[in-house]
Amino acid sequence: MVRDVTRRRFVKIGSAGTVISLAGCTTTEDPENAGGGGGGNGDDDTATDTDGGNGGGGNQDPIPIGSLFPLTGFWSENGTAIRDAVQFTVDEINDAGGPLGRPLEHIDSDNEGADAQVAVQRMNQMVSQDGIVGHIGPTSGTLPAVKNIVEENEVVAISPAAGTHQLWREGPPWWWRTVADDFLETFAVVKAVQDLGAESAAIIGVENQASKSINTQIENIAADAGLDITTTVLLPTGQSSASSTTSQALSTEPDKLILTCENGQVPSILETMLQNGYDSSDALITSEARSPDTFNQVSDPQIIEGAWSMSASADTESEKYQNWAERFKSTTGVDNVHSFAPPAFDATNVLALAIHAADSTAGADIADQMRPITNSPGKKVSTFEAGRDALDNGEDINYDGITGPINFDEYGNVSGSFAVYQATESEWQVDHIIGPQAVRDFQDSIGS
């Protein structure tokens, strides 16, 4: 005999549930048609309505857009940099009057170190409670977890950070990105290694899918380009000590080491290289392994000084970038522009311009405008204000971003530039840029 759960209580609870379920069927309609909206702070809201024309038609409610990044824990250095860049862009857009004459409201959410469970809950919160109409993000680590939520709720998501090639199978109408695909980076990696004078290289990766996939791609491109890959070795995930594996790779006497491992493994690899007569400048750290944290992780700054690294980046030598960086630094007070800040700026501007061009905040309408405002042969614009003015004058626009031309391909991808950095004692400094044309030329030269 059970004391707490009797059959009668079970029936009572079950009956109550049935009554509630039946009550739910009293009225069924689309809340958007009923004057409701996609959410918005739990009360009356018209977040997904269609405005009466550019300029707002009297509706001055903020348009909520979300961002979901690690603001605490692992990768928070990247996440907070992106969040700050999105906020900077939103402030600029709002100073210019905002899309549809309404201000954007940036709702930033923390996935607590790219925890997928937290990401699901936070994305649900942004979609259901805050009623976001567009989203900047997420990162590769949490994209699969929130994929269904984004698609089922028809939210346009533009990621400035998810470069992982395998993830990008879906693409439009809901998924877009302003950061270049890792696949393109592998061409830039091989080119950079050869530009540094190497004829051979060894790869140190990690036992995960992303690293394995990149390693295979680098091996194939290297074979076409005449770069001898002496060996590819893999470290277990989460293992910071890499001395024996690095020694194994160095025993094949490569000119350079290409690191596609985890960033926590880089200090051990660099130390082992020095112990084996190699120099830090013989290492090229790809974006998979690159982190500013490495400077704090090495026991002696000289261990990292001289090492090379690479990541997708804006063309930092262009005048357009220089002007933007000046504005960004003076407004936000940061000394160094994070490599994810330009793609975050572009993603936010593209979203705002798509909303304005759509004359609507409905996801499908915004998605329909993503290509016309970026790929068309219209007036080139690099800010929201210029784009909005052109659209209001009835002109076609072609958003030309800080990261470079934003021309979405059929999968919602862009081609971009890659920065090659060299380490000082305390930071990565840009040595040179490999632009989209240089990558294409390299692809043509090796017939790939």
In the complex, what is the shortest distance from the CB of residue 227 to another protein, in angstroms, rounded to a whole number?
A: 26
Q: How far apart are CA 170 and CA 148, in angstroms?
A: 11
In the complex, what is the shortest distance from the CB of residue 78 to another protein, in angstroms, rounded to a whole number?
A: 13
Q: Which regions of 154-246 does DSSP assign to beta strands (E)?
A: 156-159, 175-177, 200-206, 228-235
In the complex, what is the shortest distance from the CB of residue 207 to another protein, in angstroms, rounded to a whole number?
A: 5
Interface residue with another protein, options 8, 21, 22, 299 (CB under 8 A): 21
Q: How far apart are CA 389 and CA 353, in angstroms?
A: 10
Interface residue with another protein, options 83, 338, 356, 388 (CB under 8 A): 83
- Per CB under 8 A, 330 contacts another protein: no
Interface residue with another protein, options 65, 71, 189, 381 (CB under 8 A): 71
- Per CB under 8 A, 22 contacts another protein: no
Whose Cβ is closer to another protein: residue 8's or residue 169's? Answer: 169
- Per CB under 8 A, 10 contacts another protein: yes
Q: In the window 141-180, what residues touch another protein (CB under 8 A)?
A: 141-142, 144-149, 152, 164, 166-167, 169
Q: In the window 333-392, what residues touch another protein (CB under 8 A)?
A: none
Structure tokens at 146: 């929130």
Q: How far apart are CA 94 and CA 99, in angstroms?
A: 8
Q: How far apart are CA 402 and CA 316, in angstroms?
A: 9
- Per CB under 8 A, 25 contacts another protein: yes
- Per CB under 8 A, 4 contacts another protein: yes
Whose Cβ is closer to another protein: residue 4's or residue 319's? Answer: 4
Q: How far is CA 222 from the centre of its chain?
A: 27
Interface residue with another protein, options 50, 54, 59, 125 (CB under 8 A): 125
Residue 305's nearest CA partner among 288, 275, 328, 283 is 283
Identify which range of 173-181, 189-197, 204-212, 338-346 contacts another protein by CB under 8 A: 204-212
**Residues touching another protein, count (CB under 8 A):** 71
Do 323 and 301 form a contact (C-beta atoms < 8 A)?
Answer: no
Backbone angles phi, psi at 422, to 5 degrees: -125, 140
Helix 243-250 with 266-275: angle, nearest 10 deg: 50
In the complex, what is the shortest distance from the CB of residue 389 to another protein, in angstroms, rounded to a whole number?
A: 31
Do 344 and 165 form a contact (C-beta atoms < 8 A)?
Answer: no
Interface residue with another protein, options 11, 15, 52, 124 (CB under 8 A): 124
Exposure string for 189-203, b = 16+ CB within 10 A, e = fewer: bbbbbbebebebbbb
Do 56 and 125 form a contact (C-beta atoms < 8 A)?
Answer: no
Identify which range of 17-25, 173-181, 402-410, 418-426 contacts another protein by CB under 8 A: 17-25
Please name the residues in contact with 134: beta carbons below 8 A apart, sequence gap of 6 or more: 65, 66, 155, 156, 157, 158, 351, 354, 355, 363, 366
Whose Cβ is closer to another protein: residue 4's or residue 444's? Answer: 4
Q: In the window 84-123, what residues touch another protein (CB under 8 A)?
A: 84, 108-110, 112, 114-117, 120-122
- Per CB under 8 A, 209 contacts another protein: yes
Mark 30-49 with x for binding to another protein (rule: CB under 8 A) and - for no binding. xx--xxx--xx-xxxx----
Whose Cβ is closer to another protein: residue 23's or residue 197's? Answer: 23
Whose Cβ is closer to another protein: residue 144's or residue 172's? Answer: 144
In the complex, what is the shortest distance from the CB of residue 117 to another protein, in angstroms, rounded to a whole number?
A: 5
Q: How far is CA 85 from CA 111, 300, 405, in A?
A: 17, 32, 19
Q: In the window 219-278, what residues touch another protein (CB under 8 A)?
A: 236-238
Torsion sign, CA atoms 155, 156, 162, 164: positive
**Coil vs helix vs strand at 173:** coil
Q: What is the CA radius of gyration of the chain?
A: 25
In the complex, what is the shortest distance from the CB of residue 72 to another protein, in angstroms, rounded to a whole number?
A: 5
